Structure 1
Amino acid sequence: MKITPTIRAELEQFLQQEGLTLSKFGQIAGMNRGIISSIVTGNKSMSINQLDRITEAMGLPEGRFYDLFIENYIIDHPPNMRRIEPFLYRCAELEKLDAIRRVVGAIMDNLLYSPKLFEIAEGLLAQGRHGAALILYEGVAEAEKYQHSERLAICQYRIFKIQIGNDQEKNFQSALQFEPFVKRLDAIDQLDAFVDLANVYRSLRKWERVEEVAKDLRALGKAQYSIAQSLKREQVKKPLRPLFFYIAFSSSLIGGANYEQGNYELALQAAYESVDLEWVKETDKETKHWKNLFQEWGETNVCLSKLMAGNRKVLPAYADLITRTKDEILPGLWNIMIAANRYSMDVDDILNRFECEISNLHDHTKIQTNDQQNINNQLVGVLSELAEYCLSRGQYEKGVRFLLDGMRKSIIINDERSILRYRIIVERYQKFVLTEAKTEYHNLESYARRLSY
């Protein structure tokens, strides 16, 4: 069928070709004859529901006329949100993201439509339609970029969270774009935003930035906890976690940043602070849950700080601690292997103990979580340390296997720091690994050269 300028013309041509009366077509489409007649004569616009019925009755794919709908009823017409809103939801349902972009581009010259588009974006986000919501948030953010509004800050927060994925370089750029907007959020939203931002910087091993964000989180958390204690009624808006969490978590972040930078005494001090929770007055179930977790994490971090300082005696205790929670095994193994390579520790007994977990390391990439960027970072890290450990001890077959797995994963997540780490390992042990790893090594070299341009 030849495309004509209007949906009305398409419908007229179809009726003529099929020899259908308005009444007969109305029966097929489930619409009365009067509505069909008004659409054909151009006396009435149509809703997206009516368009979908007409499209189905014509035997055409869903969304076949959406571009024409935009041309006929949105572009160069005063925006009618009663028509646009259901159209955007339907486009999101059918993954017609280009159509959504056209609508946003057509109406966002006028700031009056920002509140409604923001509301629609929030609705789409709640439905899990992140791609569609992202387009609307970006449209509102662009329209309001000079407004310094809280809505602009929320849009930037939503954009940041939606964009976080497997590509570490993109994650870094998203974090940098969002960070200037954090303190424009209201205080409660800031708490969770600081946590999200710190987690991204943590996955990127940007420890100075982690510490800066953690200090902001601590100050805000203490202020909000004090306010909550002084109020005689519950606050209307609450953060995702109990208020004390943000204070204790900030200590945990600062401790992690310090030991990663080799400041083990400061790391140990922060670990002790994160478990000193006698000041917490709440006794509800959720508070007890988080207090128990911080107690476990704190014990682990105390051991870890000592281990990273070269204390071999705490290794058995640390290995026991990381088995208490499944999520701690991957980062725990990474820490053990870092210490093993740094201080030439023999950890073969630990590797035998965790043989099953090591064999199934890639299971961590099969289930997507909100903390996937940290899991990816931990995976490429532990694989590089395992490769270094095995190769340095003459276990070449195992070492090369870990090396290849880690090289592939570091390219997938676009982690420049890890890519450099693998290049160094290959160059150090090249006479043992180049034959087996030749193809992957050249792929890594080619990719690294592209990153440097």
Structure 2
Amino acid sequence: MKHTPTIRAELDRYLQQEGLNIAQFGQLAGMNRGLVSAIVTGNKSMSVNQLDLITEAMGLQEGHFYDLFMENYIIDHPPNMRRIEPFLYRCAELDKLDAIRRVVGAIMDNLLYSPKLFEIAEELLKQGRHAAALLLYEGVAEAEKYQHSERLAVCQYRIFTIQIGNDQNRNFHAAAILEAFVERLDETDQLDALKDLTNVYRSLRKWEKVDETARKMREKAEIQYALKYHQKKRECDESAKKLSRPMFVYITYANLLCASVCEAQGDYQQALEYTYAYTDLDWVLETDPDALYWLNLYKDWARCNTYIYKLLSGDTSVLPDYVEYIAESKVDKEMVTKLLNVLFAANRYQLNINDILKRFETIINSFTQQVHPSSDMYTGQVIPEQYARFGYELAYYYLYRGSYGDGFKHLMYAMVKSHIINNETYLINCMGLFVKFRTHAVPEFKEEFLNLIEKVWLDNVEKNGSSDRRG
């Protein structure tokens, strides 16, 4: 039978080695002499706080004894949440994820512990300790996978929001899993879940899914909005406080998303109809500062998108007004989208926009410096996808006009960005554009291009577990 060492034995050995008595060590650790004595003799277990004091007094690194603590007091012992809860928080602080994983695995055979672990996960999420929270959510979700519970659905929603990142293939997989749980969330959480799902599908350009989820969101939001102002007002006001946006925004945002679907399909007239639907917002009853902020935002978006859909439909007469609108706008995350639409029109209708690109040169150059880590799905997913598209469209514009230096520079940026977000479609488009103009590329760029292609290949080999069979 394997003998498991104990923290008590390690402490006893340390006292003998250093020639310290219990009183002296207690003074070093800032602990009562009687408490130290009880721990050394085995008459008393210890808390993680006491363990930290002992570890520090022994001159060891924080968390040094955590594996032993689990063996001595948690694994194969009746779960004691008064001991486990503070231990999980400390493991999260020290980023000891393996320890959290072991504890969760040891206690989650019993569903009675699900509520407490879920509560701890929610607190860790608030603290920004996402990796630790993810392990707890996954543990609770696994334990409750056969339960038709709202808590299981919330866990899946939290897992989705934590896992969404740069890899668009993984994002699609995460979205597909969450979709099955949306209806189990409470009515208000459903709105935010659908909003986040739609933004992920939008970044993936899965337009059928965008249309489907946006319509669901609008239908549910319209029902809740009617209830809020006509029937159970007090109850709905309380639930509305949980939303990340004023309730009317979920209706207007659905119309904006449906317009983007029509834009992707080339139906600019229908896109304009959806835009007009959120241009007139006289029906909105909220008057608080947050609501006024969103009302002004939609007023601006409606003006912008009206220009865009007219421009993309071929009415190039609106281009000067649209450019002035962009110039008047504050520089923010939406700037890339606004300028991207100028490029779309220029490439589609062979417009010369050199003066416009020169006018916004400083802003365009700043795009390569942008990083968008964000918990907001639009900022974190849609905007990075727009940067990749912008690089490609700008490269296309310059290359077809013979400006090869600028063209290849932006093509490389677009390829790197596409690789980061794992967008195979954009990568293929960039490669096709390079092949089209490869005879105009200088040797240095060709080498840089081939090095990037090799990196993409090696990353794909590593990710998919394939072997590099070189003879």
Tell me the TM-score normalized by structure 1.
0.96
Q: Secondary structure at the match of 2:431?
A: helix
Cα deviation, residue 367, structure 1: 6.3
Describe the superposition over 1:411-438 as per-residue Cα deviations: whole angstroms up to 9, x where unpaired. 1221112111111111111111262322
309-318 or 442-451: which moved more?
Answer: 442-451
Cα deviation, residue 407, structure 1: 1.3
Describe the superposition over 1:208-229 as per-residue Cα deviations: whole angstroms up to 9, x where unpaired. 1111110001100100000101
Q: Unpaired segments of 5 or more residues in structure 1?
A: none
Is 1:436 the equivalent of 2:440?
no
Aligned match of 2:351 in 324, 338, 345?
345
Alignment of 1:211-222 (within 5 A): 211-222=211-222
8 Å CA contact retained: 2:227, 2:233: no
Alignment of 1:183-332 (within 5 A): 183-230=183-230, 231-233=232-234, 235-238=237-240, 239-323=243-327, 324-325=329-330, 326-332=332-338
**Counterpart Cα distance in 1 of 2:103 and 2:76:** 11
Q: Secondary structure at the match of 1:275?
A: coil
8 Å CA contact retained: 2:255, 2:278: yes
**Counterpart Cα distance in 1 of 2:10 and 2:440:** 69
- Counterpart for residue 383 of structure 1: 391
Tell me the TM-score normalized by structure 2.
0.92
**Counterpart Cα distance in 1 of 2:102 and 2:117:** 13
291-300 or 86-95: which moved more?
Answer: 291-300
Partner amino acid for 2:319?
A: L
- Counterpart for residue 102 of structure 2: 102
Cα deviation, residue 232, structure 1: 4.4
8 Å CA contact retained: 2:256, 2:274: yes
Distance 1:56-1:380 versus aligned 2 partners, 3 A rule: same
Aligned match of 1:373 in 381, 399, 407?
381
Partner amino acid for 1:59?
A: G
8 Å CA contact retained: 1:419, 1:448: no
Describe the superposition over 1:237-282 as per-residue Cα deviations: whole angstroms up to 9, x where unpaired. 2222111111011000000111012121211111111112121122
- Counterpart for residue 469 of structure 2: none
Q: Secondary structure at the match of 2:244?
A: coil
Describe the superposition over 1:21-61 as per-residue Cα deviations: whole angstroms up to 9, x where unpaired. 11111111111121111111211110000000000010000
**Counterpart Cα distance in 1 of 2:169 and 2:442:** 28
**Counterpart Cα distance in 2 of 1:376 and 1:443:** 23
8 Å CA contact retained: 1:364, 1:375: no
8 Å CA contact retained: 2:161, 2:375: no
> Which aligned segments of 4 or more residues in structure 1 are displaced greater than 3 angstroms?
366-369, 443-446, 448-453
Q: Secondary structure at the match of 2:239?
A: coil
Q: Secondary structure at the match of 1:233?
A: helix
Describe the superposition over 1:369-425 as per-residue Cα deviations: whole angstroms up to 9, x where unpaired. 632222211111100001010010000111111111111221122111211111111
Cα deviation, residue 285, structure 1: 2.4
Q: Secondary structure at the match of 2:449?
A: helix
103-112 or 314-323: which moved more?
Answer: 314-323
Cα deviation, residue 328, structure 1: 2.1
Partner amino acid for 1:97?
A: L
3-12 or 180-189: which moved more?
Answer: 3-12
**Counterpart Cα distance in 2 of 1:78 and 1:177:** 34
Alignment of 1:75-154 (within 5 A): 75-154=75-154
Describe the superposition over 1:112-136 as per-residue Cα deviations: whole angstroms up to 9, x where unpaired. 1000000000010111111110110
Q: Secondary structure at the match of 2:245?
A: coil
Cα deviation, residue 448, structure 1: 5.5
Partner amino acid for 2:346?
A: A
Distance 1:281-1:306 versus aligned 2 partners, 3 A rule: same
8 Å CA contact retained: 1:191, 1:217: yes
Q: Secondary structure at the match of 1:201?
A: helix
**Counterpart Cα distance in 2 of 1:439 and 1:82:** 60
8 Å CA contact retained: 1:383, 1:402: yes
**Counterpart Cα distance in 1 of 2:155 and 2:448:** 41
Q: Unpaired segments of 5 or more residues in structure 2?
A: 467-471
**Counterpart Cα distance in 2 of 1:232 and 1:27:** 61
**Counterpart Cα distance in 2 of 1:316 and 1:448:** 44
8 Å CA contact retained: 1:52, 1:63: yes
10-19 or 166-175: which moved more?
Answer: 166-175
Cα deviation, residue 320, structure 1: 2.6
8 Å CA contact retained: 2:164, 2:171: yes
8 Å CA contact retained: 1:140, 1:155: yes
Cα deviation, residue 140, structure 1: 0.5
- Counterpart for residue 411 of structure 1: 419
Describe the superposition over 1:146-180 as per-residue Cα deviations: whole angstroms up to 9, x where unpaired. 10110011011111111112222222221112111
Partner amino acid for 2:447?
A: T
Q: CA RMSD in A?
A: 1.8
261-270 or 428-437: which moved more?
Answer: 428-437
Q: Aligned residue pairs: how many?
A: 451
- Matched-pair identity in %: 55
Partner amino acid for 1:312?
A: T
